[in-house]
Every structure is written in C-alpha cells, then in structure tokens.
Amino acid sequence: MIQRAFFTALLLLLAHTSGAEAQDPALPLLTPSAQEVTLPEAGEGSAAGTLINAGNAKAYKALIVPELYPLVRANLIELDAVKGLRYRPSSTALQASAQEAAISGNGEIAEPPIQLSPGMMFPSIDVADKNATWKVLWNLQSRLWSQQFIENSFVLSWLQGQKLTRQLGGRLTRVYPKALSEGDKSIQLFREKIELIAPGAVKGFTWLSFRFFGPEEDMLWLYSPVVERSRQLTGTNRSDAILKTSVAPDDFLAWSGKVELVEPKQIRKIKGLVFFPSVEPVALKQGAGACMEWAADNDPSRSAIWNYQSHKYSQAFGWVPTASVAVPRDLWRIEMISRDPYSAYGRQVLYIDAELFVPVYKFIYNRAGYLWKIVAAAYAQGVTSGGARQIILPHYTIVDDLIAKSAYIIESSETKICSGYPSGVKISDFDPQKLAPPKP
C-alpha cells in the first residue's frame, strides 16, 4: 500500500504536468527495431507467453500502451503476453457494410437513418481525414447497435489494495428501438437500464437513460427503493458515480459516452497489448427466439482470475487479471474533451480496437488536469457450436480510481444478445414511469 500510494502520487504529478500542456508528449512510434520485438505463440514458455514486467518492460515498450508503461515499469501491472490468439477474433455483424452517413462539423450524423443497418458505418478510415475520429466513434456505436438488444448481468467488486471489501450484483440492459422496429420514427439511439439486484440493501436502485441522435444531452432517471420514487437527473450525471463507488454509467462497457458531446483533439493509430480473457473463444448457446446466450458458469476460464485472489504478482495491483493474456492489437488512440461544461470528466484518452471497434482502455482526467481513473476492458469472442455465429461479448471492465485509491471490477456473469425483442420484453419496460416495481 505504501508503494502504491507513493507511486500514485508521482503518477498524478506527472499527469498534471502533461495535462497542462497543449498536447501530449510525442508517443512512441513503431520503429523498425520495435517491429522486430517478438512474442511466443500462445501456450509456450512457463506462462501462457512472455511475462512483461519491470525487468523487461524497456524491451517491449513499443507494445505497451504509453499511459500504462510507467505502471509496468513499477511492477504495478504485469502482462502475460502472447503473439496472438488461437483464433482470429471477428464480428459477423460487422462484415456487411452499412450505408455511409454524412457527418457534420461537430460529429453529428447529418441524417440519421430510419433503420439502423447492421455493419460498420465507415468501412474505410484514413487518419488524415478530418472526420476520422468521428468515423471511429460511430463505428463503435454501429457495432453495438448491430447487436440490437443486450442484457448483461454482472458482479461489481470493490477492492482496497489486495482485499475484496464488497460486491454487488446488477444487470445492464440496452435496447436500440430503431434497429428493432422499422416503424420507430424517433431520433432515439438507445434506451438503457442499469439495475442493482443484490444484496437486498441496494436491490432496486435503477438508472434509466435515453440517448438521442444530435447535440441534445441524454435524459437520465434514478429510481431509489429507499424513498420508493424516481427523479429525473441530467445527462451530465452519467459521468457521476453510482452509489458510493467510482464507477459511472459512462464507464460501463469501458466507454458509453455520447459521440456528439465530445470534442476530439488528436487521433492516431498505434500497436498495443490488449487483455483477452482466454486464448480460446467462449461458447455461445442458442437461447429462446433470436437470442444468443453466454454464462460464466459454463466457462472454465472464470476461476481465480484476479491478482487479489491468486497473488500471482507480488507487487501488482489487486485488479490485475492473472488468467488473461495480453495480445498486440492495432488500436485507434483518441484524445478528446467533453463539450459538457458540467461533466466531471475533463480530458479523456480512449483506445479502440481498430478491427473489432470495441473500447479497450480509457484514461480519464478530472477538470483540474489530474489523471483520475484508469479503465481497462476485455472482450471475448463468443462462438456457437460449429462456428455459425460469432459475437463479441463484454467480459470484464476494470475501473481504478487513482485519487480515491480504490478499484472496481465489473465481471459479466451472463450475457444475452438478441436480434429482436426477447420474449416478455417490450419498449414500454424502459418507461421512466415504470421504474418502481408493482406493488403487491
């Protein structure tokens, strides 16, 4: 704890210094010598791959996300790195190209399509394009609406150092009305509920969001079972923490911000190591109707996967995933600030997988310029028997609050992804007037 407190203070000082500058210091580029850095195939060596830590971080610097490099040099993060997975991760939903939309100067889609077609909105992106950042962010959104309906049950764990202090059970449900109904004529992008379901003291707390195309802020409601009523908040509150955690609604799925309310400052493409829960894909099963399902109980890779459980790395953070592998991926690095003057988030640095269009890292600076939160996410490839369907699934998200010196892990326990409304679910379930449970 003493080492973490000292290093965190040093890291915050460095972050404050860099945040005051007009631009970030030059990032390390992949020089010819850096491209010669090699990693073993999955399964070779004493670990799954090469263990990267303080002892050899310098040799692998070109493959470490720059913001994480000081942590690796200090042994606060160790990476079990392999050359690649035993499969090529992909998303069937992204193989078809949607109709390319026009983008206005502030990132808005000029004419939002009546039907949200599956597929990437922008199949080809040139970093020199003035709209490159917007295209990357909209591709991320189109990957999500390709899944149309997602229900993700999760366990939220509190960590203080190497100790687990508390756990909550919850469920995130998001529906894309336009993707599911051609008759939907609204400009609504999605409706989302984050519900707490365990333990009993917090059961029923619910955050309901409406997001629209265009510059309008989100609509947000909070239902409290304590007072048995809901109240409307502002879209700004999506960057505020839920209950007494450091996890905000916009931190779920690593980045759930609104495209039109950020102002990009810089974009570039780099190579970086990204967490994957396993070198193998996870098994999907056919659910009812047009739904595919995954459950942690059927996944053997989900035992003792955190450093606070296994103590595999003696000096590393408790949230370091010890059963995951780190794989080099092409990443879009986007630096941006919020256009919302009341948002708790100042500058953000977002890393998005350039092939899968999922957010894998987010570094959040507060309004004073200090590095506040590190968010890291791992996504898994879900595959049905015979490989007929392939879907990218959220596996876990880590939120490390460097200022509060606490960390949180959001682990998926069950995920359901549907190309239509599941049985028993309807759009009226996302009505703010129905957040309170029916009285017996």
Q: Average pLDDT for residues 212-235, to the nearest whole number?
A: 93
Arithmetic mean of pLDDT over the chain: 86
pLDDT digits (tens, 9 = 90+) for 343-352: 999 999 999 9
Three-class secondary structure of residue 150 per DSSP: strand
Span 158-179, mean pLDDT?
A: 93
Half-sphere exposure of 329 (CA within 13 A, CB side): 27
In a domain, 440, yes or no: no
Q: 366 in a domain, yes or no?
A: yes
Question: Which segments within 21-144 are labelled E, that is strand?
Answer: 50-52, 79-81
- 400 inside domain: yes
pLDDT at residue 134 greater than cutoff 60: yes
Q: Is 298's pLDDT higher than 80?
A: no
Specify the pTM. Answer: 0.90
As to burial, measured by CB atoms within 10 angstroms (0-12 exposed, 13-18 middle, 19+ buried), residue 161 is middle
Chain segment 243-253, per-residue pLDDT in tens: 889 999 999 99
pLDDT of residue 92: 57
Which of the pair, 275 or 103, is modelled with greater confidence?
275
Nearest-angstrom CA–CA distance, 301 and 44? 18
Mean per-residue pLDDT for 358-379? 96
160: in domain: no
User: Is residue 396 in some structural domain?
Assistant: yes
CA R_g for the chain: 21
Question: 222 in a domain, yes or no?
Answer: no
Q: How far apart are CA 206 and CA 203, in angstroms?
A: 9
- Cβ neighbourhood burial of 306 (10 Å; 0-12, 13-18, 19+): buried
For residue 382, give its domain range: 2-89+259-406
Total number of domains in the chain: 1
Is 51 contained in some domain? yes
Asked whether residue 41 is domain-assigned, the answer is yes
